[in-house]
Structure 1
Amino acid sequence: MGRRKLEIKRIESKSNRQMSFCKRSKGLMKKAKAISILCDVDVAVVIISNRGKLHEFSSTNSLTGILQRYETHVEAEIQAAEHSKYSSMTTGELLEETERQLEKTNADGLTVTDLIHLENELQTSLIQIRARKTHLMLESVKALHEKEKLLRKEKKHLEKNRARMKKNRKVNEMSDLPPQRVTLSFF
Protein backbone atom coordinates (compact mmCIF):
# COMPACT_ATOMS: atom_id res chain seq x y z
CA MET A 1 0.00 0.00 0.00
CA GLY A 2 1.65 3.24 -1.16
CA ARG A 3 1.26 6.79 -0.05
CA ARG A 4 -1.36 8.86 -1.72
CA LYS A 5 -0.75 12.42 -2.78
CA LEU A 6 -2.01 14.81 -0.14
CA GLU A 7 -3.82 17.93 -1.27
CA ILE A 8 -2.22 20.98 0.32
CA LYS A 9 -4.97 22.89 2.11
CA ARG A 10 -5.81 23.88 5.66
CA ILE A 11 -6.73 20.94 7.87
CA GLU A 12 -10.20 21.66 9.27
CA SER A 13 -10.09 19.44 12.36
CA LYS A 14 -8.26 21.26 15.16
CA SER A 15 -6.87 18.07 16.75
CA ASN A 16 -5.71 16.68 13.39
CA ARG A 17 -4.15 20.06 12.55
CA GLN A 18 -2.25 20.11 15.88
CA MET A 19 -1.08 16.50 15.42
CA SER A 20 0.05 17.23 11.86
CA PHE A 21 1.86 20.37 13.06
CA CYS A 22 3.79 18.41 15.70
CA LYS A 23 4.81 15.65 13.28
CA ARG A 24 5.67 17.93 10.39
CA SER A 25 7.61 20.44 12.48
CA LYS A 26 9.71 17.58 13.92
CA GLY A 27 10.26 16.31 10.38
CA LEU A 28 11.25 19.79 9.20
CA MET A 29 13.76 20.14 12.05
CA LYS A 30 15.16 16.70 11.21
CA LYS A 31 15.56 17.67 7.53
CA ALA A 32 17.21 20.97 8.53
CA LYS A 33 19.70 19.11 10.71
CA ALA A 34 20.39 16.61 7.93
CA ILE A 35 21.05 19.26 5.28
CA SER A 36 23.33 21.21 7.64
CA ILE A 37 25.41 18.09 8.35
CA LEU A 38 25.44 16.63 4.83
CA CYS A 39 26.17 19.87 2.99
CA ASP A 40 28.16 21.64 5.73
CA VAL A 41 25.95 24.74 5.62
CA ASP A 42 24.42 26.99 8.24
CA VAL A 43 20.70 26.43 8.62
CA ALA A 44 18.15 28.25 10.76
CA VAL A 45 14.49 27.33 11.09
CA VAL A 46 12.01 29.41 13.05
CA ILE A 47 8.40 28.26 13.52
CA ILE A 48 5.79 30.13 15.50
CA SER A 49 2.71 28.06 16.20
CA ASN A 50 -0.81 29.47 16.15
CA ARG A 51 -0.68 29.38 19.94
CA GLY A 52 2.37 31.67 19.88
CA LYS A 53 4.88 29.00 20.87
CA LEU A 54 8.32 29.40 19.31
CA HIS A 55 10.09 26.39 17.76
CA GLU A 56 13.58 26.96 16.44
CA PHE A 57 16.59 25.11 15.09
CA SER A 58 20.05 26.43 14.34
CA SER A 59 22.95 24.44 12.97
CA THR A 60 25.32 26.84 14.74
CA ASN A 61 25.24 27.91 18.35
CA SER A 62 23.73 31.28 17.46
CA LEU A 63 20.41 31.69 15.69
CA THR A 64 20.81 35.46 15.94
CA GLY A 65 24.17 35.23 14.15
CA ILE A 66 22.53 33.49 11.19
CA LEU A 67 19.67 36.00 11.17
CA GLN A 68 22.15 38.90 11.18
CA ARG A 69 24.04 37.34 8.26
CA TYR A 70 20.71 36.96 6.43
CA GLU A 71 19.82 40.61 7.06
CA THR A 72 23.26 41.77 5.85
CA HIS A 73 22.90 39.64 2.73
CA VAL A 74 19.45 41.06 1.94
CA GLU A 75 20.72 44.64 2.38
CA ALA A 76 23.68 43.90 0.08
CA GLU A 77 21.31 42.50 -2.57
CA ILE A 78 19.14 45.61 -2.39
CA GLN A 79 22.19 47.85 -2.82
CA ALA A 80 23.46 45.70 -5.69
CA ALA A 81 20.09 45.99 -7.41
CA GLU A 82 20.23 49.77 -7.08
CA HIS A 83 23.77 49.86 -8.47
CA SER A 84 22.97 47.52 -11.34
CA LYS A 85 20.25 49.98 -12.37
CA TYR A 86 22.96 52.60 -12.83
CA SER A 87 25.63 50.28 -14.28
CA SER A 88 23.61 49.64 -17.43
CA MET A 89 23.52 53.36 -18.19
CA THR A 90 26.10 55.18 -20.25
CA THR A 91 28.17 57.83 -18.52
CA GLY A 92 26.09 60.61 -20.06
CA GLU A 93 22.82 58.98 -18.98
CA LEU A 94 24.23 58.45 -15.50
CA LEU A 95 25.20 62.09 -15.19
CA GLU A 96 21.77 63.19 -16.44
CA GLU A 97 20.05 60.88 -13.93
CA THR A 98 22.18 62.24 -11.10
CA GLU A 99 21.41 65.78 -12.16
CA ARG A 100 17.67 65.00 -12.26
CA GLN A 101 17.84 63.51 -8.77
CA LEU A 102 19.71 66.53 -7.47
CA GLU A 103 17.15 68.89 -9.00
CA LYS A 104 14.30 66.79 -7.63
CA THR A 105 15.68 66.72 -4.11
CA ASN A 106 16.92 70.32 -4.10
CA ALA A 107 20.66 69.88 -3.61
CA ASP A 108 20.82 72.94 -1.40
CA GLY A 109 18.71 71.12 1.18
CA LEU A 110 20.84 67.96 1.17
CA THR A 111 23.07 67.17 4.09
CA VAL A 112 26.74 66.44 3.71
CA THR A 113 26.12 62.72 4.28
CA ASP A 114 23.49 62.71 1.52
CA LEU A 115 25.94 64.35 -0.87
CA ILE A 116 28.66 61.90 0.14
CA HIS A 117 26.22 59.04 -0.46
CA LEU A 118 25.39 60.40 -3.93
CA GLU A 119 29.08 60.83 -4.67
CA ASN A 120 29.78 57.24 -3.58
CA GLU A 121 26.95 55.97 -5.79
CA LEU A 122 28.35 57.91 -8.72
CA GLN A 123 31.87 56.58 -8.07
CA THR A 124 30.58 53.02 -7.78
CA SER A 125 28.64 53.38 -11.02
CA LEU A 126 31.65 54.81 -12.83
CA ILE A 127 33.82 51.96 -11.57
CA GLN A 128 31.27 49.45 -12.85
CA ILE A 129 31.08 51.20 -16.22
CA ARG A 130 34.87 51.24 -16.53
CA ALA A 131 35.02 47.57 -15.56
CA ARG A 132 32.43 46.72 -18.23
CA LYS A 133 34.34 48.78 -20.80
CA THR A 134 37.59 47.02 -19.90
CA HIS A 135 35.86 43.65 -20.12
CA LEU A 136 34.48 44.44 -23.57
CA MET A 137 37.89 45.67 -24.76
CA LEU A 138 39.58 42.51 -23.49
CA GLU A 139 36.98 40.37 -25.27
CA SER A 140 37.62 42.35 -28.45
CA VAL A 141 41.38 41.86 -28.13
CA LYS A 142 40.87 38.15 -27.51
CA ALA A 143 38.67 37.88 -30.61
CA LEU A 144 41.30 39.71 -32.68
CA HIS A 145 44.02 37.34 -31.42
CA GLU A 146 41.88 34.37 -32.43
CA LYS A 147 41.33 35.94 -35.86
CA GLU A 148 45.08 36.53 -36.17
CA LYS A 149 45.77 32.85 -35.39
CA LEU A 150 43.27 31.76 -38.03
CA LEU A 151 44.81 34.11 -40.61
CA ARG A 152 48.32 32.81 -39.82
CA LYS A 153 47.12 29.23 -40.29
CA GLU A 154 45.46 30.17 -43.55
CA LYS A 155 48.66 31.92 -44.70
CA LYS A 156 50.73 28.79 -43.97
CA HIS A 157 48.21 26.67 -45.83
CA LEU A 158 48.31 29.00 -48.85
CA GLU A 159 52.12 29.05 -48.82
CA LYS A 160 52.17 25.24 -48.84
CA ASN A 161 49.71 25.18 -51.73
CA ARG A 162 51.82 27.74 -53.63
CA ALA A 163 55.00 25.73 -53.07
CA ARG A 164 53.23 22.54 -54.21
CA MET A 165 51.91 24.29 -57.32
CA LYS A 166 55.40 25.64 -58.11
CA LYS A 167 56.84 22.18 -57.73
CA ASN A 168 54.14 20.69 -60.00
CA ARG A 169 54.79 23.39 -62.59
CA LYS A 170 58.52 22.57 -62.66
CA VAL A 171 57.77 18.87 -63.02
CA ASN A 172 55.37 19.64 -65.89
CA GLU A 173 57.92 21.89 -67.59
CA MET A 174 60.53 19.17 -67.37
CA SER A 175 58.19 16.59 -68.83
CA ASP A 176 57.42 18.94 -71.76
CA LEU A 177 61.13 19.21 -72.73
CA PRO A 178 62.33 16.90 -75.48
CA PRO A 179 64.34 13.99 -74.21
CA GLN A 180 68.08 14.62 -74.14
CA ARG A 181 70.69 12.17 -75.30
CA VAL A 182 72.77 10.70 -72.69
CA THR A 183 76.09 9.36 -73.71
CA LEU A 184 77.83 6.86 -71.64
CA SER A 185 81.48 6.51 -71.85
CA PHE A 186 83.46 3.56 -70.67
CA PHE A 187 87.12 3.55 -70.06
Structure 2
Amino acid sequence: MVRGKIQMRRIENASSRLVTFSKRRNGLLKKARELSILCDAEVAVIIFSQNGKLYEFASTDKMQNTIERYRINAKQGYSDRIDEELYKEKLRYESENMAKKIEIIKMSQRKLMGKDLDSCSSEELQEISRQLEISLNNIRERKDQLFKEQIEQLQEKERLLLEENARLSKQCDARPWLQTSTLPNQAVAYLSSCSKSSDVETELFIGVPQMRCL
Protein backbone atom coordinates (compact mmCIF):
# COMPACT_ATOMS: atom_id res chain seq x y z
CA MET A 1 0.00 0.00 0.00
CA VAL A 2 1.40 3.35 -1.05
CA ARG A 3 1.84 5.89 1.70
CA GLY A 4 0.21 9.20 0.94
CA LYS A 5 2.21 12.41 0.77
CA ILE A 6 2.00 14.44 3.97
CA GLN A 7 1.15 18.08 3.49
CA MET A 8 3.79 20.35 5.04
CA ARG A 9 1.88 22.54 7.44
CA ARG A 10 1.60 23.00 11.20
CA ILE A 11 -0.11 20.18 13.03
CA GLU A 12 -2.98 21.75 14.93
CA ASN A 13 -3.51 18.88 17.39
CA ALA A 14 -1.06 19.33 20.28
CA SER A 15 -0.80 15.64 21.10
CA SER A 16 -0.17 14.64 17.47
CA ARG A 17 2.29 17.48 17.14
CA LEU A 18 4.25 16.23 20.18
CA VAL A 19 4.37 12.65 18.87
CA THR A 20 5.49 13.80 15.42
CA PHE A 21 8.19 15.99 16.92
CA SER A 22 9.55 13.10 18.97
CA LYS A 23 9.67 10.76 15.96
CA ARG A 24 11.13 13.28 13.53
CA ARG A 25 13.67 14.49 16.09
CA ASN A 26 15.02 11.03 16.69
CA GLY A 27 15.13 10.34 12.96
CA LEU A 28 16.97 13.61 12.29
CA LEU A 29 19.58 12.92 14.98
CA LYS A 30 20.03 9.38 13.65
CA LYS A 31 20.57 10.62 10.10
CA ALA A 32 23.11 13.18 11.34
CA ARG A 33 25.04 10.45 13.18
CA GLU A 34 25.01 8.20 10.11
CA LEU A 35 26.17 11.04 7.87
CA SER A 36 29.12 11.83 10.13
CA ILE A 37 30.18 8.15 10.21
CA LEU A 38 29.68 7.28 6.53
CA CYS A 39 31.19 10.46 5.08
CA ASP A 40 33.65 11.39 7.85
CA ALA A 41 31.95 14.79 8.05
CA GLU A 42 31.78 17.17 10.96
CA VAL A 43 28.08 17.44 11.79
CA ALA A 44 26.27 19.34 14.50
CA VAL A 45 22.51 19.51 15.06
CA ILE A 46 20.73 21.77 17.55
CA ILE A 47 17.01 21.42 18.15
CA PHE A 48 14.75 23.35 20.51
CA SER A 49 11.30 21.98 21.17
CA GLN A 50 8.21 24.13 21.39
CA ASN A 51 8.66 24.15 25.14
CA GLY A 52 12.27 25.32 24.83
CA LYS A 53 13.92 21.99 25.58
CA LEU A 54 17.32 21.49 23.94
CA TYR A 55 18.29 18.45 21.88
CA GLU A 56 21.67 18.28 20.18
CA PHE A 57 24.15 16.08 18.41
CA ALA A 58 27.79 16.76 17.55
CA SER A 59 30.21 14.45 15.76
CA THR A 60 33.13 16.07 17.60
CA ASP A 61 33.85 15.95 21.29
CA LYS A 62 32.60 19.49 21.84
CA MET A 63 29.67 21.21 20.18
CA GLN A 64 31.35 24.56 20.86
CA ASN A 65 34.24 23.72 18.50
CA THR A 66 31.85 23.16 15.62
CA ILE A 67 29.97 26.37 16.44
CA GLU A 68 33.21 28.40 16.45
CA ARG A 69 34.22 26.86 13.15
CA TYR A 70 30.84 27.80 11.73
CA ARG A 71 31.17 31.39 12.93
CA ILE A 72 34.63 31.77 11.35
CA ASN A 73 33.51 30.37 8.01
CA ALA A 74 30.27 32.33 8.05
CA LYS A 75 32.18 35.53 8.80
CA GLN A 76 34.68 34.79 6.04
CA GLY A 77 31.87 34.11 3.58
CA TYR A 78 30.18 37.37 4.55
CA SER A 79 33.49 39.20 4.17
CA ASP A 80 33.98 37.64 0.72
CA ARG A 81 30.51 38.76 -0.32
CA ILE A 82 31.21 42.27 0.91
CA ASP A 83 34.52 42.36 -0.99
CA GLU A 84 32.80 41.13 -4.14
CA GLU A 85 30.12 43.79 -3.88
CA LEU A 86 32.75 46.48 -3.31
CA TYR A 87 34.73 45.24 -6.31
CA LYS A 88 31.62 45.32 -8.51
CA GLU A 89 30.81 48.82 -7.29
CA LYS A 90 34.38 49.91 -8.06
CA LEU A 91 34.16 48.51 -11.60
CA ARG A 92 30.81 50.22 -12.11
CA TYR A 93 32.26 53.53 -10.92
CA GLU A 94 35.32 53.20 -13.17
CA SER A 95 33.13 52.30 -16.13
CA GLU A 96 30.96 55.37 -15.63
CA ASN A 97 34.02 57.62 -15.31
CA MET A 98 35.53 56.11 -18.45
CA ALA A 99 32.31 56.73 -20.38
CA LYS A 100 32.30 60.37 -19.22
CA LYS A 101 35.95 60.84 -20.24
CA ILE A 102 35.26 59.36 -23.67
CA GLU A 103 32.33 61.73 -24.16
CA ILE A 104 34.49 64.70 -23.14
CA ILE A 105 37.22 63.65 -25.58
CA LYS A 106 34.68 63.25 -28.40
CA MET A 107 33.24 66.69 -27.66
CA SER A 108 36.73 68.24 -27.63
CA GLN A 109 37.53 66.51 -30.92
CA ARG A 110 34.38 67.91 -32.54
CA LYS A 111 35.31 71.41 -31.37
CA LEU A 112 38.84 71.04 -32.74
CA MET A 113 37.26 70.09 -36.08
CA GLY A 114 35.25 73.33 -35.98
CA LYS A 115 31.93 71.77 -34.97
CA ASP A 116 29.54 72.50 -32.08
CA LEU A 117 31.16 75.88 -31.38
CA ASP A 118 27.93 77.75 -30.65
CA SER A 119 28.03 76.92 -26.95
CA CYS A 120 31.72 77.91 -26.55
CA SER A 121 32.68 81.08 -24.74
CA SER A 122 35.44 83.40 -25.90
CA GLU A 123 37.86 81.83 -23.42
CA GLU A 124 37.08 78.34 -24.74
CA LEU A 125 37.53 79.49 -28.33
CA GLN A 126 40.87 81.05 -27.41
CA GLU A 127 41.96 77.79 -25.76
CA ILE A 128 40.92 75.81 -28.86
CA SER A 129 42.90 78.22 -31.03
CA ARG A 130 45.94 77.77 -28.82
CA GLN A 131 45.68 73.99 -29.01
CA LEU A 132 45.40 74.11 -32.79
CA GLU A 133 48.48 76.32 -33.00
CA ILE A 134 50.44 73.87 -30.86
CA SER A 135 49.27 71.00 -33.07
CA LEU A 136 50.33 72.86 -36.22
CA ASN A 137 53.76 73.57 -34.77
CA ASN A 138 54.20 69.91 -33.92
CA ILE A 139 53.14 68.92 -37.44
CA ARG A 140 55.60 71.39 -39.00
CA GLU A 141 58.44 70.13 -36.81
CA ARG A 142 57.71 66.54 -37.76
CA LYS A 143 57.46 67.49 -41.42
CA ASP A 144 60.81 69.31 -41.31
CA GLN A 145 62.40 66.32 -39.60
CA LEU A 146 61.16 63.97 -42.31
CA PHE A 147 62.45 66.27 -45.06
CA LYS A 148 65.83 66.48 -43.34
CA GLU A 149 66.05 62.69 -43.11
CA GLN A 150 65.13 62.33 -46.78
CA ILE A 151 67.77 64.88 -47.81
CA GLU A 152 70.42 63.05 -45.78
CA GLN A 153 69.46 59.76 -47.40
CA LEU A 154 69.68 61.30 -50.90
CA GLN A 155 73.06 62.85 -50.09
CA GLU A 156 74.36 59.51 -48.89
CA LYS A 157 73.09 57.84 -52.06
CA GLU A 158 74.77 60.55 -54.16
CA ARG A 159 78.06 59.99 -52.33
CA LEU A 160 77.90 56.25 -52.96
CA LEU A 161 77.16 56.80 -56.66
CA LEU A 162 80.09 59.20 -57.02
CA GLU A 163 82.43 56.71 -55.38
CA GLU A 164 81.19 53.94 -57.67
CA ASN A 165 81.61 56.21 -60.72
CA ALA A 166 85.17 57.09 -59.70
CA ARG A 167 86.02 53.43 -59.20
CA LEU A 168 84.68 52.47 -62.62
CA SER A 169 86.48 55.36 -64.29
CA LYS A 170 89.76 54.27 -62.68
CA GLN A 171 89.26 50.73 -63.93
CA CYS A 172 88.60 51.96 -67.48
CA ASP A 173 91.80 54.07 -67.49
CA ALA A 174 93.94 51.18 -66.27
CA ARG A 175 92.48 48.57 -68.69
CA PRO A 176 91.50 50.00 -72.14
CA TRP A 177 89.06 47.99 -74.12
CA LEU A 178 91.07 47.69 -77.39
CA GLN A 179 94.87 47.63 -77.87
CA THR A 180 96.80 46.97 -81.10
CA SER A 181 99.23 44.66 -79.40
CA THR A 182 96.41 42.34 -78.50
CA LEU A 183 95.14 41.90 -82.06
CA PRO A 184 95.86 38.58 -83.79
CA ASN A 185 98.81 38.54 -86.19
CA GLN A 186 96.62 37.79 -89.22
CA ALA A 187 94.38 40.77 -88.47
CA VAL A 188 97.43 43.02 -88.16
CA ALA A 189 98.77 41.79 -91.50
CA TYR A 190 95.39 42.25 -93.09
CA LEU A 191 95.08 45.83 -91.85
CA SER A 192 98.60 46.61 -93.00
CA SER A 193 97.99 45.28 -96.51
CA CYS A 194 94.71 47.10 -96.78
CA SER A 195 96.28 50.36 -95.72
CA LYS A 196 98.86 50.08 -98.58
CA SER A 197 96.18 49.64 -101.24
CA SER A 198 94.68 52.81 -102.69
CA ASP A 199 92.07 51.13 -104.88
CA VAL A 200 88.54 50.59 -103.66
CA GLU A 201 86.47 47.69 -104.92
CA THR A 202 83.12 48.69 -106.35
CA GLU A 203 82.08 45.33 -107.73
CA LEU A 204 78.80 43.79 -106.57
CA PHE A 205 79.13 40.27 -105.19
CA ILE A 206 76.32 37.87 -104.44
CA GLY A 207 76.95 35.54 -101.57
CA VAL A 208 79.11 35.62 -98.50
CA PRO A 209 81.51 38.59 -98.69
CA GLN A 210 85.20 37.73 -98.85
CA MET A 211 88.04 39.80 -97.58
CA ARG A 212 90.45 40.60 -100.34
CA CYS A 213 93.16 43.12 -100.56
CA LEU A 214 94.71 44.14 -103.89
TM-score range, shorter chain: 0.3 to 0.5
Higher helix share: 1
Structure of higher RCO (CA pairs closer than 8 Å, 6+ residues apart)? 1
- Higher Cα Rg, which structure: 2
TM-score normalised by length of structure 2: 0.41
TM-score normalised by length of structure 1: 0.47
